[in-house]
Structure 1
Amino acid sequence: MKQLTQNYYLRDILESDLEPIFLGLSHPEVIKYYGISYSSLEETKTQMQWFKNLEISGSGKWFAICDLKTDDFLGAGGLNDLVEEHQKAEIGLWLLPQFWGKGILQEVMPKIVAYGFKELQLHRIEGFVESENTKCRRAMAKTGFTYEGTMKDCEQKDGRWISLSVYAILNP
């Protein structure tokens, strides 16, 4: 299933995406604000299985983000932690660093949100962003997410406490 924007498209994640997913989820700048990281292609297979399990369990869907002209893999994004009873899920995204600052997230996030509202029948999509990740916080605000507050020192990462800024968008 392809979802098109003006310059990019979202497609199912394929086994052949293992290497670029490893490149992203092992890159120091990507994992700085991301919840997981991998140190080998073999370890990254765990992430590939996680993508599959989301669909099998009905708890979400992630997509490869690709360039419409070149078909290059740019990153990944989607919805996870879907709670059917409350019709809500969490959005997550990451891009390979060479594609940062090009407005890609602002262009593809609305497609992911639309997928959640139309296909998954969600009422609410939440985004939990490390408070220090100002670029991602700006992207959330620019794509219609409302800042709801900050959970201070709510998680530990690399031996230190981090705060999470909470964003949400409701199905109109």
Structure 2
Amino acid sequence: MQTFPTLSTKRLVLSQPTVADTEDVILQMNSTSEISENTLTLPFPYKKENADFWFQMAEFSFQKNEAFIFGIREKENLKLIGAVGLHLDNSNNKAEVGYWLGKSFWNKGYVSEALQKVLKFGFEELNLNKIYASHFLHNPASGKVLEKCGFVFEAVLQQEILKNGKFYDLFRYCILKSNY
């Protein structure tokens, strides 16, 4: 794929994040420390250099056909409010999906709406066989989002992640193309 795709839902536009989104990304990432606490690698507080690195990583990963990182935007103003990414494992025809959303946009169904569109893209455009996701035990809302989108619980990965000096279990979910 030469050009980064833009996806659209009823309320959202999913498009490639760019340096023009720097202020929005920093604002949303710093809306609560819970975003960092509920994700594997995102820091808090989130700084401009973090955003710069993220934009470069998103562009480089797309160019190398390793990931599609979509900025989540409300259609009405196109401000970036979050992100959803497909991180490809091309040799196994699968991808890991991850997402985050600014706190003032929680509990509005935005992540589910974005995730459903990304699943469609992954299965229908990229012809993936499996899409999987993980969440920490202390973030059950993420599991509810995954279940709402058709994912099934797959396993508990014990002490899978070392974060801030502590080991954490991950709950792993997946959806297969045949069940999509």
TM-score by length of 2: 0.89
CA distance in 2: counterparts of 1:22 and 1:53, whole angstroms: 20
Look up the SS of the partner of 1:106 in the other structure: helix
CA distance in 1: counterparts of 2:133 and 2:58, whole angstroms: 18
Q: Is the 8 A contact 1:131 1:163 kept in 2?
A: yes
User: Mean alpha-carbon deviation: is it higher for 67-76 or for 48-57?
Assistant: 67-76
1:53 aligns with 2:57: no
CA distance in 1: counterparts of 2:143 and 2:72, whole angstroms: 19
Superposed CA RMSD in Å reads: 1.5
CA distance in 1: counterparts of 2:47 and 2:6, whole angstroms: 29
2:125 to 119, 123, 126: 119
1:10 aligns with 2:14: yes
CA distance in 1: counterparts of 2:125 and 2:113, whole angstroms: 19
- Give the CA deviation at 1:6: 1.2
Instruction: Determine the structure 2 residue equivalent to 1:83.
Output: 89
Instruction: Determine the structure 1 residue equivalent to 2:35.
Output: 30
Q: Which amino acid aligns with 1:102?
A: K
Look up the SS of the partner of 1:90 in the other structure: strand
- Give the CA deviation at 1:96: 0.4
Q: Is the 8 A contact 1:131 1:150 kept in 2?
A: no
Aligned length: 171
Question: Where do 5+ consecutive residues of structure 1 fail to align?
Answer: none
1:150 aligns with 2:156: yes
Question: Where do 5+ consecutive residues of structure 2 fail to align?
Answer: none
Instruction: Determine the structure 2 residue equivalent to 1:43.
Output: 50
- 1:30-68 CA distance string (max 9 Å, x none): 111112216420232111111111111111101111111
- Give the CA deviation at 1:71: 2.0
